[in-house]
Structure 1
């Protein structure tokens, strides 16, 4: 099992909620609110407020998750050689890369980034950042579900295909 899956499977349901459910619910809320804004062209309505609040929350929350996992998992695993292979590193790495789009949304929604952009340009950038998070989160999930032993020849033992 990758460290990513172990993180989600340990201390059920709390770690699953903290490390998977909250970030994914934020991303889905952002994606839906972006679609509402796109279809209604209402740049000042409820969907925009929900998007802004969620973007700020997600940026702060995921930055805290990033720092916590960097200190408690990534640095110790790297220092001790505890990684379980490339799939493990890819899963954890892509999960942590999610901090970039969420931090970007935080900076955009707080006005630190994009001050000279108009509302439509900010909306485009916000939507791109949501998309980036969804892509990196799905890459992390896919690689996190793989058996890390597949690349070392130890995986799929006992699996019968076509039987």
Structure 2
């Protein structure tokens, strides 16, 4: 079975790639999601849970911006230019993973007051929740697609041995 580039990235350079590209972003995002629920149920705009929520949002967005830039330059763009994708499933897995910058970056920008300044506290909270939900959705699509054999849907098994392998 051929692996998606997403899964290959996580499997290569063990345990570092798994930690850097999966564990750190997921721990930050899960901390954000869990504290988000606590803030919503307690209607607590202040306090230690809100502080953890705020900082996990800022750190997740900043960290994932670095991950996004790194993977665009070392993987996505070179794979696209070299025709090295292993089929639509491969593109979906990597694409949805990289799309995580939109919700994580958005929630960080919201917390930093760069976006949403003109909205009420309730509207900012709704946007905050929407960003967290969107990240959970995109991350799970990336993980599920990443675990599939990329050649299942019109993939080219030969592409597995072509193009750059920036994850090594």
TM-score by length of 2: 0.88
Alignment match, 1:149: 151
Instruction: Determine which of 85, 92, 100 is the counterpart of 2:87.
Output: 85
Distance in 2, Cα, partners of 1:149 & 1:115? 46
Alignment match, 1:95: 97
1:46 to 2:48 alignment: yes
Alignment match, 2:59: 57
CA offset at residue 154 of structure 1? 8.4
CA offset at residue 152 of structure 1? 3.7
CA offset at residue 85 of structure 1? 0.4
Alignment match, 2:128: 126
CA offset at residue 42 of structure 1? 1.1
Q: Find the residue that maps to 2:62 and give its secondary structure.
A: helix
CA offset at residue 119 of structure 1? 2.0
| CA-to-aligned-CA distance 1:47-90 (integer Å, 9 cap, x gap) | 11111111111111101100000000011101111000000000
Q: Decide whether the 8 Å contact of 2:87 with 2:155 is kept in 1.
A: no
Q: Decide whether the 8 Å contact of 1:43 with 1:119 is kept in 2.
A: no
Judged with a 3 Å threshold, the aligned counterparts in structure 2 of structure 1 residues 46 and 148 are, in CA distance, closer, same or farther, namely: same
Q: Which has the larger radius of gyration?
A: 1
Distance in 1, Cα, partners of 2:118 & 2:51? 20
Instruction: Determine which of 54, 73, 76 is the counterpart of 2:75.
Output: 73
Greater RCO, 1 or 2 (C-alpha within 8 Å, sep 6+): 2
Runs of 4+ in 1 over 6 A off after TM superposition: none
| CA-to-aligned-CA distance 1:89-144 (integer Å, 9 cap, x gap) | 00000000000001101110001111122222211111110000000000000110
Q: Decide whether the 8 Å contact of 2:90 with 2:145 is kept in 1.
A: yes
Give the length in aligned residue pairs.
155
| CA-to-aligned-CA distance 1:6-41 (integer Å, 9 cap, x gap) | 000001111011101111111111111111111111
TM-score by length of 1: 0.91
Judged with a 3 Å threshold, the aligned counterparts in structure 2 of structure 1 residues 52 and 138 are, in CA distance, closer, same or farther, namely: same
- Where in structure 1 are there 5+ consecutive unaligned residues? 156-163
Distance in 2, Cα, partners of 1:39 & 1:139? 27
